[in-house]
Amino acid sequence: MKNVKILITGITGQDGVFVTKYLLENNPHIKIYGTSRSLNYKEFYRKLNYLNPKLETNNISIFKTELSILENVKKIISDIQPQSIYNLTGPSSVYESIKKPNLSSAIEIIYNNLTLSCINKSIFPNFFQASSSEMYGKNHETILDEKSMFLPNSPYAEAKLGNHIKTAELRSRFNWNIVSGIMFNHESEFRTENYLFMKIINYLLNLKNLSGTKLTLGGVDLVRDWSHASDISKGIVDMTESKIFEDFVLGSGKPTKISDLLDMSFGYFNLDWNEYVEVKGEILRKDDPIYRISDPSKIKKMLNWKTVIDTEEILRKIIRYTQL
């Protein structure tokens, strides 16, 4: 399998790093091409080295390009002719999409450009589309699977759902191994402060410099499903490279209340979070459900995949990394 070529859009993002790691650990001879909106590739290679210093990275080529321009994408597909495509690019902030709805249009434009370019060149690689649990939106069912109703309540979720629906249509029309992974919350050492785990840990590590400033959260009674990005990325690769043309939910299926997350994280530093956290319910989205958990039983049954890193270990990994 020395001539296998993989294209990863958004390769320098959290999921791109972990997908790259998993692919290379399984086949060090593959050639990986990655697109990025940034030219700062040193950070990407530093993260890969942190995860596995023994990885062979000479077969990785990263280039900056504008994927919203169809001709650019056509040339990439024609030049590389990849056996697999992992579409991991695009904005990922729900709140940002509400403030600036036009940002989410890039999600659909890039997806359309990638799929149209493949069809135009009659190249039908294994294709992974990153879908999101945000597509469930206003659905207040407590446990959600592939058949649960999608009720998006943000421009980001609407764009993701549009691509999710098109994926099923293209799979049927062309008998194409193009699949969507409905990803629930997943964190890692490489998240930014826009995400809850890193927001909490950064607050704790900088507590001495905050002069009594409290950590503001929208609610502590919400129950969510969290995984580590390494587990989710393994699921991404497993479902993309399998011969099963199906969409799958990717999540832990294990509930964690935010107050319990605070107990774990503040407890690590022997602190009581009640003294440091200010709850402002008004910053929550009106339609956000109290309880949202994945049901990953389909992928567990069909591909023998499940998460192995629990919430406490995710926190420990983030703390170790941020203290380097």
Q: How do residues 54-103 score in pLDDT, each as one tens digit?
A: 999 999 999 999 999 999 999 999 999 999 999 999 766 665 655 666 76
Q: DSSP letters along 85-151, please?
A: EEE--S---HHHHHH-GGGGHHHHHHHHHHHHHHHHTT---EEEEEEEGGGGTT---SEE-TTSPP-
Q: How do residues 247-305 score in pLDDT, each as one tens digit?
A: 999 999 999 999 999 999 999 999 999 999 999 987 887 788 999 999 999 999 999 99
**Does 166 have pLDDT greater than 60?**
yes
The two structure tokens encoding residue 233: 């990325």
% of the chain with per-residue pLDDT over 90: 84
* Residue 136, CA atoms < 13 Å, CB-side half-sphere: 23
Other C-beta atoms lying within 10 Å of the C-beta of residue 87? 24
- CATH assignment of 5-188+228-251+293-309, given 3.40.50.720, 3.40.50.12280, 3.40.309.10, 3.30.450.40? 3.40.50.720
Q: How do residues 109-129 score in pLDDT, each as one tens digit?
A: 999 999 999 999 999 999 999
177-191, 276-290, 306-320: least confident range: 276-290
Q: State the pTM of this model.
A: 0.95
**Alpha carbon distances (Å) from 254 to 143, 223, 262, 293:** 10, 10, 17, 7
Q: What is the CA radius of gyration of the chain?
A: 20
| Pairing verdict, β 223-225 and 255-257 | antiparallel
Residue 156 — very low, low, confident or very high, per pLDDT cuts 50/70/90?
very high
Other C-beta atoms lying within 10 Å of the C-beta of residue 98? 15
